[in-house]
Amino acid sequence: MTEPTPQAKPSFFQRIPLAFSAFFQVLFGNMPPPVAAQPAQSAAVVLREATPDAALQLLGLLQKEARLIDFTQEDLSSYSDADIGGAARVVHEGCCKVLRDHFTIAPVRAEAEGSRITLPEGFDASAIRLTGNVVGQAPFKGSLSHRGWRATETRLPKLTPSHDVTVLAQAEVEL
């Protein structure tokens, strides 16, 4: 049996939406189970509904510190790559500040990306997603393409009862 050819790594700009998607899915626990885990689930699973308040609060923090919403709502087609890169640096620095200030984040796997690893029977399928040609039963041997991330601590600010979390950024009026 031959090993599959490695896939090209996505560019920095291709990884941004993937990273945000994975972050919010991990934060709010609504990631779909890996394909290998789906047949084992019973049909009687009760899903809990995540309240939007924490997500909206986080989105507001990302807007305040990184201007994330402004950046994603802007039509970038008329800007040069250099201009976009400069704006991305500001967004990146602000996002890093929000993550440092409000979360403790650790890798799911300690090994370096590219390392060969073996997943034993009973591995945590909620923390590890199998990709590629997934056949058979564990143990699985493969190459770690992404270490994964886990939030080990969350420190979102407390909100007053009158705070409207749906206002992600106030409109500004210069006088």
Lowest mean pLDDT among 24-33, 69-78, 122-131: 24-33
Residue 93: predicted pLDDT: 97
Rounded mean pLDDT of the chain? Answer: 85
Residue 44: predicted pLDDT: 78
Tell me the pLDDT tens digit for each residue of 89-115. Answer: 999 999 999 999 999 999 999 999 999
Cα separation values, 106 from 31, 37, 100, 150, Å: 18, 24, 11, 5
39 pLDDT more than 70? no
Across 27-46, average pLDDT: 59
Residue 88: predicted pLDDT: 94
155 pLDDT more than 90? yes
Residue 49: predicted pLDDT: 84
Tell me the pLDDT tens digit for each residue of 43-91. Answer: 778 888 888 999 999 999 999 999 999 999 999 999 999 999 999 999 9
